[in-house]
Amino acid sequence: MNYPINDIRKDFPILERKVHNKDLVYLDNAATTQKPRQVIEAITKFYEEYNSNIHRGVHFLSQIATNAYEESRDYIKNFIGAAHREEVIFTRGTTEAINLLAHSFGKAFIKEGDEVLISEMEHHSNIVPWQMLCEDRKAILRVIPMNDKGEIIMEEYEKLLSSKTKILAITHISNALGTINPIKKIIEKAHEYDVVVMIDGAQAIAHEKVNVSELDCDFYCFSAHKVYGPMGIGVLYGKKELLGKMPPYQGGGEMIANVSFEKTTYNELPFKFEAGTPNVEGAIAFKTALEYIEAIGLDSIKEHEHGLLSYATAEMQKLDDVVIYGKAKNKAALISFLLKDIHPFDAGTMIDQLGIALRTGHHCAQPIMDKFQIQGTIRASFAMYNTMEEVDVLMNALKKVQAIFS
């Protein structure tokens, strides 16, 4: 069966618009993906037909909204292969999920002298919360180095593991380099030392089949907006046993069982970690987004994106004075690069005038840029709706930029 690229593109209204009088070529998918019409309609339907706060409400609209919200939790539980529905905690996104974990797990399990392990390729959201935890608990942050291709140096990783290591927090796919880390091997090695493992799956969830039970990760975090869903909603998956031992992250609303001025008791999982009015429409539309990609098939999407990556890499290598950063053997559909002697911001501004949306800068991964001794890169990141023709448009744009600056 041929990949239904034309049908897919018709589902994304924004792809029909013009930018600077040019057809939009959207290649900033690692920052956020566009939304299919089905997701947009799910949000509209919620507000038009059954907008209501959830749980505890006995009226008709509240019951419908509550059921739809909890159905989304069940769907996500099955989508990621979790064992229990209460292991799916709704958050505002990957960043809040990591902060929740750093605060709550840290409070329960991290003490002075313990070690927290991250890698050199992490997004700031998977660096700063752990730095804050280590400062608060007088713990030590250790960093796994990577090689010049942008791959974890496994021998160095294994040397860093010890009885002092309490948690490893590592990305599944690098947002700045596209590296797909050997997560299962990394988890297995950590568990030999009884180290708890959290995976930042923000970049992986739209490109890889993720089964948390098969991976045996202890925590996995991801966001809806990276997988064709709405902004402001994400998930912290955690093993039930660990979540049960962790204190709440925030107080108020749904996370309570009983409140008095003398003592408050906390709700059961997953509600213990879901304080306040949740993003109901976001959770409902998240399910719609996942249904959409499952209907196409993640294997088909991955094959299509890999074709785009291979073609774009080959075409870019034909150009003079282009340096690609991130040459891991196992890569997602993302290319970080620089045009020699042209500042990435200047190049990105000119490319934008040609109707192409790219990302320029350090991509919230400054340590990576420091390693390569550069200020930042230009990043083209592909999704299921991108085409080979759009790759050609990008290559022509890069040639124009080079010609102007020369």
The whole-number average pLDDT for the span 261-286 is 87
Q: How much is the average pLDDT of 355-384?
A: 95
Task: Indicate if 303 and 387 belong to the same structural domain.
Answer: yes
Rounded Cα gap, residues 321 and 343, in angstroms: 13
List the beta bridge partners of residue 28.
Answer: 381
**Sheet strands (E) in 151-195:** 165-171
Q: Greater confidence, 361 or 224?
A: 224
pLDDT tens per residue across span 37-89: 999 999 999 999 999 999 877 899 999 999 999 999 999 999 999 999 999 99
Say whether pLDDT at 116 is over 60: yes
Q: How far apart are CA 219 and CA 133, in angstroms?
A: 17
- Distance (Å, rounded) from C-alpha 349 to C-alpha 98? 33
Range of the domain at 250: 50-294
Same domain assignment for residues 204 and 269 = yes
- 11: pLDDT confidence band, cut at 50, 70 and 90? very high
Examine the domain organization and report whether 309 and 273 are in the same domain. Answer: no
Identified catalytic residue from 134, 217, 221, 364: 364
In this prediction, residues 273-283 reach a mean pLDDT of: 93
As for how many domains the chain has, the answer is 2
Mean pLDDT of the chain: 95
- Evaluate whether residue 388 is within a structural domain: yes
Percent of the chain at pLDDT > 70 equals 99
Work out the pLDDT band at 385, boundaries 50, 70, 90: very high
Last residue of a domain, one of 276, 294, 312: 294
Most confidently modeled range among 22-26, 57-61, 251-255: 22-26
Same domain, 261 and 362: no
pLDDT tens track for 149-160: 999 999 999 999
**Is residue 401 one of the residues assigned to a domain?**
yes
340 and 363 both lie in a single domain: yes
For residue 375, is pLDDT > 70? yes
What's the rounded Cα separation, in Å, for the pair 60 and 53?
Answer: 11
CA angle 179, 212, 207 (to 5 degrees): 40
Question: How far, in Å, CA of 340 to CA of 343, rounded?
Answer: 8
Structure tokens at 267: 């709700």
| Residue 44 covered by a domain | no
Q: What is the pLDDT of residue 267?
A: 75
Same domain (yes/no): 277, 339: no
User: Residue 45 domain-assigned?
Assistant: no
Contacts of 375 (CB under 8 A, 6+ apart): 343, 344, 362, 369
Token pair of 120, please? 């050199």
Q: Any catalytic annotation for residue 364?
A: yes
The CATH number assigned to the domain holding 353 equals 3.90.1150.10
Give the span between the Cα atoms of 372 and 354, in whole angstroms: 29
Shared-domain flag, residues 263 and 352: no
Same domain, 323 and 174: no
Boundary of a domain, candidates 294, 313, 343: 294
Q: CA 273, 278, 281, 282 torsion: positive or negative? A: negative
CATH number for the domain spanning 227: value is 3.40.640.10
* Pair type for strands 196-200 and 22-23: unpaired
Q: Are 101 and 78 part of one and the same domain?
A: yes
CB 322 within 8 A of CB 224: no
Check whether residue 19 and residue 54 sit in a common domain: no
Domain boundary among 254, 275, 294: 294
pLDDT beyond 70 at 1 = no
Q: How confident is the model at residue 269 (pLDDT cuts 50, 70, 90)?
A: confident
Q: Quick one: 279 and 313 in the same domain?
A: no
Separation CA 254–CA 267 (nearest Å) = 7
Query: Do 146 and 115 reside in the same domain of the chain?
Result: yes
Q: Report the predicted TM-score, pTM, of the whole model to 2 decimal places.
A: 0.96
